[in-house]
Amino acid sequence: MKHDRFGCLIREKYDPEFHLGNLGDSLAETCRAQILGDPRGRLSAFVLPGSRGYLRHPLLANEGKKWDRRDTSNDQVIALFMLWKLNDSPWFLQAKKDNTVFIRGTWTLLAIGTWLVLREHWGLLEKANQFQGWLLTKKYRWSDGKQWVEKTEGQVQDYLNLICIHLFLKQIGQPTKLPRPVDECMTAVQKYYLGGKDVEPNSEWIVEKYAEHLLDQ
């Protein structure tokens, strides 16, 4: 993984550099890395002017419904909104106005966690995160991208926002507990970036970022 010329964190798995598969999770990855303490990255590239929505990556603006602002999901924007709150950014106040029922620019309903971040209901956000941790022990999960249920087995991406929500609450001084055991969370992070058929090149550094926080619990 690396930061590109836009200041966005992208994958390096596919050629050429700006292959769609390298860009699709750029918004979430850039924001999560900053929640983990990485000082790099620019967020303005992800926000369309005039409150028209958010992009997974600036180069996806004209790629059609599957990739443009209409495809931006809750697991992408929740990381953005948390980071704006951490930075006391005026963009957070704008996001509260723009995102009431749907993610701005989409017909995707705000997930419970995203809505709670925007409404600043921190105690309920912690309870929702604990509930999400419990759901990870079950056979099925809700797929934000597919808007449907799918088998939980082998799906480890939910751990990333689970961890970052916990770290976010911790950083703003709210009572919080990691919803799943540390070793389980680290195994999920390592599998997501370093293991299996979807291994991500040059991602050891972000795994170390997760480890720094998780092993300090």
Quick: pLDDT tens for 40-88.
Answer: 888 998 999 888 999 999 999 999 888 999 999 999 999 999 999 999 9
141 pLDDT tier (thresholds 50, 70, 90)? low
Least-confidence region, from 5-14, 29-38, 133-142, 205-214: 133-142
Q: How far is CA 46 from CA 57, 80, 170, in A?
A: 6, 9, 26
pTM: 0.91
- Whether pLDDT at 103 is above 80: yes
Residue of 59, 61, 84 whose CA lies nearest to 71? 61
19 pLDDT tier (thresholds 50, 70, 90)? very high
Q: 165, 82 in Cβ contact below 8 A?
A: yes
